[in-house]
Structure 1
Amino acid sequence: MIDIKALQCWVALVQNHSFSATAEKLALSQPSVSKIIHTLENELNVALLYKGENGRKRLVQPTEIGQRVYDRSQQILNQVNLLQQEVADYRKLKSGTLRIGMSLLGSRLLTPVFFRFHQQCPDIELAFIESGTRDIEAALLDNRLDAGQLLLPVSDEFNHIPLCDYPLMVLFPRKRLANIPESISLRSLRDESFILFSRGFALYERIVNACRDQGFEPNVVCCTSQWELLRDMVEKEIGIALLPRYYTDDFDSKVFAAVPLTDPAINWRLSMAWPRHKKLTPALKAWLNVVRQEFAQ
């Protein structure tokens, strides 16, 4: 197998036209340079340098095949340099892509993180996949994502950083309630029409299962993956919705009434998760550090 150092020595010899000058440039002894070139010739089974008269002394002049080896060696060494630079850039966060899975409700939480991460690592491309937490979990395990938002609790296959813990609120049109109660039990909603997130989403499953635990099957009139559409449908009196307080706090209190859900209370607890046994890339380490800083506040 040809040694990269042998190619470096050959290129330096051709460029310097001298064994002694090459030895000085490479911080080697002259016999060492001669030995490296001799070994390279044996590896390739060709003469790289013309021999002097009577074959007693080699001239520092490449043979025809020696010139070809020189040209090709330069190309190989250029590629090696590019590879080393690419690895160095990667380790210094100057290149690469970070794949983040965002839940359909949770992307808004990450806006400050995106901003701070871009400030610290402007050359790292962020690639987003927005989906339900079930799909994000599968993509993490299949290595299609580096990190992603999952509802707590997460399985033992993941490490995670907690992001939020907000109670679900029952969202009504404001004009329906003359007096807003302090809380509403889930059982009292058995006759209501529900507008829920799409089937297959973890939050959908939690709400439906909680209703069944209370002895009724919810009357689901619509499912959507867009919280804005869900809010607008409540305003049109199509049904009620259950949304995290993180969102309902921003709704117009003249249009909507948001009442804490109790008995049972259901909380929206989101985390940033990644596979427990995944080797962390420099970009992923930087991302998780920013997440920790942001959500420790």
Structure 2
Amino acid sequence: MELRTLRAFVEVVRRGGFSEAAKTVFTTQSAVSKAVRQLEDELGLTLLDRIGHRSTLTAAGEIVYRRALTMLAERDDLLAELEEFRGLKRGRLRLGLPPIGSDALFAPLFAIYRSRYPGIEIQLVEHGSKRLEELVRDGEVDLGGSLLPVSEAFDWQEVRLEPIHVLLPEDHPLASEEAIPLERLKDMAFILFDAGFALNPIILEACQSRGFEPQVAARSSQINFIVELVAAGLGVGFLPRLIARQRVHAGVVHRPVIDPGMNWHMAFVWRRGAYLPHAARAWLELAAEVFQKKGQAQS
């Protein structure tokens, strides 16, 4: 079994077909098809159910796909470790960041990192925290931003702990309050983020602990749109304090939510026990340095 055939098979599954997979591995569609057929012949099993131009995994294919991801991630770890061992002053950082808070927290780090390590290429992807955890687990990114707590599959380094604020129209009856108990929001419509954003479970689990299920009026992946919906009176939204302070809107106010479970605890995560390339370790060291200084300045 060759890694190149596993790579071809994995990319067919990821990209949803042979033609798109061929573009990813820089070969022809017929070569990808031949590689997958060779893998099926070697294993004596059908891995893909081919229906027209679409291919779906068989039960055997799901097992091979899961194992192939692990094998390819281990290969990448091996090559990265050998590259660092040879002392090359080049490399790449595969970094996954969530849309919420990344501009405020991490934009300054990029400039510092680039000045210190000009030979390192930063490959950035942006997704909700749950999707980033999947990418880290599959070895597609070295580090991902997520919210604590995380599963035991990950090691992590804390970035920042922020209370969550509720966004209210400025003419709302509670807008004059300095802080608002969560249970006082139970009869109001909530505007939440799309599925995959780790902020949602924090809000929903806190509501459940207070004995109610909120009415969800809308969901969005865009912070600015959520703020506009709040201003229009559709419902109340939620943001970490740091981000709420930056999203100033003439028709919206934000107030702390009084609930011990309503915190946004950002961290960088990576696969537990996995080899971290020098570029990723350097990013973590820089993040610890910068956020420690910020913490001291705020105290």
Range class of TM-score, shorter chain: 0.5 to 0.7
CA shift, 1:89, in A, is 10
Query: Which residue, out of 233, 236, 248, partners 2:232?
Result: 236
Q: Deviations over 1:131-162 (max 9, x none)?
A: 11111111111101100111012223222221
Query: Which residue, out of 110, 114, 117, partners 1:118?
Result: 114
CA shift, 1:179, in A, is 5.8
* Other structure's SS at 1:229 match: helix
Q: Aligned partners of 1:160, 1:230: CA distance in 2, in Å?
A: 30
* Other structure's SS at 2:110 match: helix
Quickly say closer, same or farther: Cα 1:90–1:285, change in 2 above 3 A: farther
Look up the match of 1:154: 150
* Alignment pair present for 1:272 and 2:268: yes
Aligned positions of 1:121-136 closer than 5 A: 121-136=117-132
Query: Which residue, out of 169, 172, 178, partners 1:173?
Result: 169
Q: Aligned partners of 1:277, 1:89: CA distance in 2, in Å?
A: 18
* Alignment pair present for 1:100 and 2:95: yes
- Letter in structure 2 aligned against 1:103: P
Quickly say closer, same or farther: Cα 1:158–1:193, change in 2 above 3 A: same
* Other structure's SS at 1:259 match: strand
Q: Aligned partners of 1:179, 1:288: CA distance in 2, in Å?
A: 39
| Equivalent pair of 1:193/1:240 in contact (CA under 8 Å) | yes
Name stretches of at least 5 consecutive residues in structure 1 with no aligned partner: 1-85
| Equivalent pair of 1:244/1:268 in contact (CA under 8 Å) | yes
- Letter in structure 2 aligned against 1:182: E
Q: Aligned partners of 1:247, 1:280: CA distance in 2, in Å?
A: 30
Aligned positions of 1:67-78 closer than 5 A: none
| Equivalent pair of 1:168/1:268 in contact (CA under 8 Å) | yes
| Equivalent pair of 1:183/1:261 in contact (CA under 8 Å) | yes
Aligned positions of 1:74-85 closer than 5 A: none
Q: Deviations over 1:254-290 (max 9, x none)?
A: 5322111013450111001212211121211221221
Quickly say closer, same or farther: Cα 1:292–1:201, change in 2 above 3 A: same
| Equivalent pair of 1:167/1:266 in contact (CA under 8 Å) | yes
* Other structure's SS at 1:171 match: strand
Q: Aligned partners of 2:266, 2:278: CA distance in 1, in Å?
A: 24
Q: Radius of gyration: which is bigger?
A: 1
Q: Aligned partners of 1:231, 1:220: CA distance in 2, in Å?
A: 15
Query: Which residue, out of 234, 238, 245, partners 2:241?
Result: 245
* Other structure's SS at 1:176 match: coil
Q: Aligned partners of 2:99, 2:222: CA distance in 1, in Å?
A: 7
Q: Aligned partners of 1:178, 1:111: CA distance in 2, in Å?
A: 34
Alignment identity in percent? 33
* Alignment pair present for 1:225 and 2:221: yes
| Equivalent pair of 1:183/1:259 in contact (CA under 8 Å) | yes
What is the TM-score of this pair, normalised by structure 2? 0.66
Q: Aligned partners of 1:211, 1:279: CA distance in 2, in Å?
A: 39
Look up the match of 1:27: none
Q: Aligned partners of 2:165, 2:282: CA distance in 1, in Å?
A: 35
CA RMSD of aligned residues (A): 2.3
| Equivalent pair of 2:202/2:261 in contact (CA under 8 Å) | no
Name stretches of at least 5 consecutive residues in structure 2 with no aligned partner: 1-81, 294-299
Quickly say closer, same or farther: Cα 1:87–1:188, change in 2 above 3 A: closer
* Other structure's SS at 1:212 match: helix
Look up the match of 1:194: 190
| Equivalent pair of 2:227/2:237 in contact (CA under 8 Å) | yes
Q: Deviations over 1:2-49 (max 9, x none)?
A: xxxxxxxxxxxxxxxxxxxxxxxxxxxxxxxxxxxxxxxxxxxxxxxx
Quickly say closer, same or farther: Cα 1:161–1:218, change in 2 above 3 A: same
Number of residue-to-residue matches in the alignment: 212
Q: Deviations over 1:203-262 (max 9, x none)?
A: 112212221222222110111111111111111111110111101222437532211101
- Letter in structure 1 aligned against 2:285: N
